A and B are shown apart, each in its own frame.
Chain A
Amino acid sequence: MHTTTSQAPIDYRDLARGDRVHGSLYTNPEIFAEEMSRIFYRTWIFVGHTSEIAAPNDYVRKSIGTQDVIMTRDRDGDIHVLLNRCAHRGSIVCNEPRGNSSAFRCPYHGWTFRNTGDLIGYPFRQGYGESGPELNLASLPRVASHQGFVFASMATDGPTLAEHLGPAAEEFDRLASLSPEGEISLSCGWIGHRLNANWKLLFENDADGYHPQFAHRSVIAATNTHIGDLYSDRSPVTAHDLGHGHSLREMRPVYRDSPPLSWAGASEERLPDYATQMRAALGDRADVALTDGPPNLMVFPNLAIMDIHISVFQPLAPDLSVQHVTAVQWNGAPDLNRRELQQTVASVGPAGMFLADDAEMHERVQQGLAMREPEWVDVSRGLLRERTDEHGHAVGSVTDETGIRAFWHEYLRLMTAEEVA
């Protein structure tokens, strides 16, 4: 147990270098605590989706780092993110995973708070005299959403969500464009997968196009999956740094050489209702949408949109994380949704044919990082062949560690920045 702070501040520039990162970044409790305050309790964090609180007064329990939060929709439709702690004596005020209520009443002493966080009242007012305490639930100062994806920041000031997302925003739009109604829902519920591994290993893994042929060789051997070709040294797929820690695996060069719906492992013949609805809704633009498919997008620091499923990374301790996963559901596309949910369930979660092996690798890495030597983790793959796009962002081949380096750039920026920027 760490009881003292070190004399000298941690020099993150020395630990997170361009081509390698230090193993202590995954194991040191002091660094974990600083990550919470400088990243998770400061920048924009993905919390949940508006479809999870569709009706007025709906609420759902979520997390920001180690913090238990309640995402609510008030009676006017506005969304709030509240810390789950009674302003009186500290008990959690919400003990249900989700529900519908205009207020939260703490069972300990009966203090009651509106779903905006504002105090409604408490029993036996005379005990406080004329002007009693006006204590509210802590409410995150900034909440914003894009395509229904709700983000919150504990910093009062800072870049807007649009500035934070930058070019990643249009990838959310691409995801939604695959719905005949232009909207997605996260309505299937989440599975939490608990891992004895640092949260950054989870993010890095989803940004890593090098491991699939190896870590997932049992799936490749047992099924007709095409991922072996997508993640090969000859694949036309590219890895793009989008800035602010976000990155994109650009799969469209493959899918544009294939019939529509190849990304879904399907075809227009196999999903005729969906194809018809898309053509009716989008007209000429349907071909592009159906061919291109959804993005493979990493959103710093806790969200991955992996084509058909969503992963959220929750840090709990230097060596303990939860990966929350759910399937994307496109509004107005029941036949597509049914198929992609089945694919997602087969792939992800504690018994998933893909993610169980990812989890195994994360836990083995966490064990290995406890060894004293060689201290560093190498993230240099592809540096020599990276190019720069018109926005000044790095572009690498799919098996290059471009997306991992994008993560570390933003990590270093936030861990060394005094002000939110």
Chain B
Amino acid sequence: VITTTDDLTQRRIEGFLYEEARLADENDYDAWEQLWTDDAMYWVPANGEGSDPTREMSILYDNRRRIGTRLAQLKTGKHYTQSPPSRTRRIVANIETMPTVGDRPGEEPPGGADLEVQANVMIAESRASGVTLIMGRVTYHLRLSAGELKMSYKKVVLINNDRPMPTMSFLL
């Protein structure tokens, strides 16, 4: 049920997704972290769409605290796979505001007032071995919090997550 987000325009939603993408591409870890709610969940499943991250391997499955740890690791400058950081640019497209909010793993957010948005993402990453292209479908749960749009859930389903994948320790 969409409540507090009823009057969000498509344009404002797109603006949020583009900002999130830009902060990730530019390794602006502090600003990117500010986009998350306190009950956030960040999930990159393996081997398909993902059904239960508490019973199956994931590429990444972070609650809010672990998002902070991941960013703290990046900020040490000694996370060698990201030192120097990968240069990435991503395109977020095919943005759809979904009629209902799907389930998410972890504790349900209080009130359940989020809005679900889905999009396709294509990320080009340049590293020593060349340019890698990765693509996937992203599900976002967005929430208005004190007038600001925040992200309570981000799930990235990569199209090749059932095959061997190269290191991906930049922000997906």
A residues with a Cβ closer than 8 A to B are 97, 187-196, 215, 217-219, 221-223, 322, 324-327, 338, 341-342, 344-346, 349-351, 353, 356-357, 359-361, 363, 367
Q: Is the CB of A353 within 8 A of B70?
A: yes
Q: At the interface, is chain B mostly helix, strand, loop or mixed? A: loop
Note all chain B residues with C-beta closer than 8 A to A194. Answer: 164-166
Name which of B1-9, B72-80, B111-119, B140-148 contacts chain A: B72-80
Note all chain B residues with C-beta closer than 8 A to A221. Answer: 72-73, 76, 78
In the complex, the chain A residue whose C-beta lies closest to that of B72 is: A222
A217 to B169, CA, bound (A): 16
A222 to B46, CA, bound (A): 25
Whole-angstrom distance between the Cβ of A115 and the nearest chain B Cβ: 23
A219 to B74, CA, bound (A): 9
Q: Is the CB of A353 within 8 A of B80?
A: no
A346-B62, A356-B168 given; 19 more Cβ-contact pairs under 8 Å:
A189-B57, A191-B47, A191-B57, A191-B59, A192-B164, A194-B166, A218-B78, A223-B72, A341-B54, A345-B57, A345-B59, A349-B46, A349-B57, A351-B172, A357-B81, A360-B81, A360-B167, A363-B128, A367-B128
Give the contacting residue for A326; candidates B57, B162, B163; CB below 8 A: B57
Whole-angstrom distance between the Cβ of B47 and the nearest chain A Cβ: 5
Note all chain A residues with C-beta closer than 8 A to B60. Answer: 345, 349, 351
Q: Is the CB of A350 within 8 A of B169?
A: yes
A-B contact pairs, 28 of them (CB 8 A): A191-B46, A191-B57, A194-B165, A194-B166, A215-B80, A218-B76, A218-B77, A218-B80, A219-B73, A221-B73, A221-B78, A223-B69, A342-B54, A342-B61, A345-B58, A345-B59, A346-B61, A350-B168, A350-B169, A351-B44, A351-B59, A351-B168, A351-B169, A353-B73, A356-B81, A356-B167, A356-B168, A357-B81
Q: Take A217-B78, A359-B167 as given contacts and tell me if A338 and B54 are in contact as well, using a CB distance cutoff of 8 Å.
A: yes
A187 to B55, CA, bound (A): 8
Q: Take A191-B57, A341-B54, A346-B66 as given contacts and tell me if A222 and B73 are in contact as well, using a CB distance cutoff of 8 Å.
A: yes
Note all chain A residues with C-beta closer than 8 A to B168. Answer: 350-351, 356
* Residue among B78, B79, B81, B169 with most chain A CB within 10 A: B81
In the complex, the chain A residue whose C-beta lies closest to that of B60 is: A351
A139 to B57, CA, bound (A): 30
Q: Take A192-B165, A193-B165, A194-B164 as given contacts and tell me if A357 and B57 are in contact as well, using a CB distance cutoff of 8 Å.
A: no
Note all chain B residues with C-beta closer than 8 A to A342. Answer: 54, 61
Total B residues in contact with A, Cβ cutoff 8 Å: 37
Q: Is the CB of B78 within 8 A of A356?
A: no
In the complex, the chain B residue whose C-beta lies closest to that of A186 is: B57
Note all chain A residues with C-beta closer than 8 A to B55. Answer: 187-188, 338, 341
In the complex, the chain B residue whose C-beta lies closest to that of A359 is: B167
A223 to B165, CA, bound (A): 26
Q: Mark B105-136, 1 if CB is under 8 A from A, else 0.
A: 00000000000000000000000110000000
Q: Take A193-B167, A196-B129, A219-B73 as given contacts and tell me if A361 and B80 are in contact as well, using a CB distance cutoff of 8 Å.
A: yes
Note all chain A residues with C-beta closer than 8 A to B69. Answer: 222-223, 353
Give the contacting residue for B76; candidates A222, A322, A367; CB below 8 A: A222
Whole-angstrom distance between the Cβ of A94 and the nearest chain B Cβ: 15
Q: Is the CB of B70 within 8 A of A360?
A: no
Q: Is the CB of B164 within 8 A of A193?
A: yes
A193 to B74, CA, bound (A): 20
In the complex, the chain A residue whose C-beta lies closest to that of B46 is: A191
Q: Mark B20-62, 1 if CB is under 8 A from A, else 0.
A: 0000000000000000000000001011000001111111111
Q: Is the CB of B70 within 8 A of A349?
A: no
Note all chain B residues with C-beta closer than 8 A to A351. Answer: 44, 59-60, 167-169, 172
In the complex, the chain A residue whose C-beta lies closest to that of B77 is: A218
Whole-angstrom distance between the Cβ of A313 and the nearest chain B Cβ: 12
Q: Take A196-B129, A223-B69, A367-B128 as given contacts and tell me if A188 and B57 are in contact as well, using a CB distance cutoff of 8 Å.
A: yes
Top 7 nearest A-B pairs (CB, nearest first) are A192-B164, A360-B81, A194-B164, A222-B72, A218-B78, A218-B79, A222-B73
A350 to B161, CA, bound (A): 10
Whole-angstrom distance between the Cβ of B23 and the nearest chain A Cβ: 18
A361 to B163, CA, bound (A): 22
Q: Is the CB of A349 within 8 A of B73?
A: no
